[in-house]
Chains A and B, each alone.
Chain A
């Protein structure tokens, strides 16, 4: 059963600490997305990659957030330093080749910054 995996599922950290979230896309998918979901803002696209190359990170606060794909099976999202306003659920999603545009979401990482 192919699915997107994310680690950790929950993270509680103190303000100022570095946070790293990891995502393993579905094998064979070539597009990876990072989203943030909050009650106030809903779902926001932070960044996405195709074939490991970053295509758009305009939704990401550049001063503290960074996203990478070290290889085709791993995407990372880092926050350094973290702030209380970063508390949210962070989703990774992957999409297949071929232009059908559907996205399959991971279970999310619930981040709490105190």
Chain B
């Protein structure tokens, strides 16, 4: 069975700094998709970034980028120039079908 592990329950970063959130997953599949979702205090789940396993190039969306290491089954999220609005829970998710498998989340606090 596929699993997703986020080993950092909480992290903090100062505004304008860079922070990296870790995610590892376990699967025997070769083709799949990985996502990072952000859940701010409003509780809205927001899709931040997606990565297709067959693409070697790391995905980037503005200040958000990923480091996808397929052999190591690692999918970390880097947030550059952190902003107060980045304060949220961040969930890593895996799928190779319709169903998303979520990690337990990392709570990120951005300090001024």
Task: Give A contacts to B, CB under 8 Å.
Answer: 31, 33, 37, 42-43, 45, 48, 50, 55-56, 89, 91, 93, 95, 100-105, 107-108, 110
Contacts and interface: CB of A to CB of B under 8 A. Distances in A.
Interface residues of B, number: 19
Contacts of A105: 37, 44-47
Contacts, number: 46
Contacts of B99: 45, 48, 56
A107 B44 CA distance: 5
Given A42-B104, A43-B91, A107-B42, A102 B98 contact: no
Given A56-B99, A103-B100, 20 more contacts: A33-B98, A37-B43, A42-B104, A48-B98, A56-B98, A93-B45, A100-B33, A100-B50, A101-B33, A101-B95, A101-B97, A101-B100, A102-B35, A102-B47, A105-B37, A105-B46, A105-B47, A107-B42, A108-B43, A108-B45
